[in-house]
Amino acid sequence: MEKIKAGFINFMPFGVKGEEYYSYLEYYGKLGFKGFENGTALLDGDVKENLKRVRSYGITPIDVSYMSFPGRPPVTMEELVENAHKLEVTRVVAFDNLASAYRFGARPEPAPYDEIMKEIEDFEAKAAFFKKEGIDLMYHNHDVELKQCYKGIPQLQLIAANTEALTFELDCGWADFAGADPVKLIHQLKNRISALHIKDYQPTIVNYPRFDNVKVPQFTAVGSGELDLKGCLKAGIEENIEWAIVEQDFYNQLGQKESLTAAYYNMKETGLIE
Spell out the domains of the chain, with CATH numbers in brackets: 5-269 (3.20.20.150)
b or e along 48-80 (b: 16 or more beta carbons within 10 Å of the residue's beta carbon)? eebbeebeebbbbbbbbbbeeeeeeeebebeeb
Instruction: Report how far residue 35's alpha carbon sits from residue 6's, in angstroms, rounded to the nearest whole number.
Output: 7
pLDDT at 71 over 90: no
Instruction: Report how far residue 104's alpha carbon sits from residue 216's, in angstroms, rounded to the nearest whole number.
Output: 10
pLDDT at 77 over 60: yes
% pLDDT > 70, the chain: 97
Residue-level pLDDT at 74: 73
Residues in contact with 185: Cβ distance below 8 Å, sequence separation at least 6, in sequence order: 156, 170, 172, 175
Residue 60 pLDDT class (50, 70, 90 cuts)? very high
Average pLDDT, the chain: 95
Reported as a single tens digit per residue, the pLDDT across 126-141 is: 999 999 999 999 999 9
Q: What is the pTM of this model?
A: 0.96
Residue-level pLDDT at 72: 56
pLDDT at 241 over 90: yes
b or e along 81-113 (b: 16 or more beta carbons within 10 Å of the residue's beta carbon)? bebbebbebbbbbbbebbbbebbbeeeeebbee
Residue 143 pLDDT class (50, 70, 90 cuts)? very high
Residue 66 pLDDT class (50, 70, 90 cuts)? confident
Instruction: Report how far residue 274's alpha carbon sits from residue 266's, in angstroms, rounded to the nearest whole number.
Output: 13
**Average pLDDT for 199-220:** 96
Reported as a single tens digit per residue, the pLDDT across 7-41 is: 999 999 988 889 999 999 999 999 999 999 999 99
Residue-level pLDDT at 73: 64
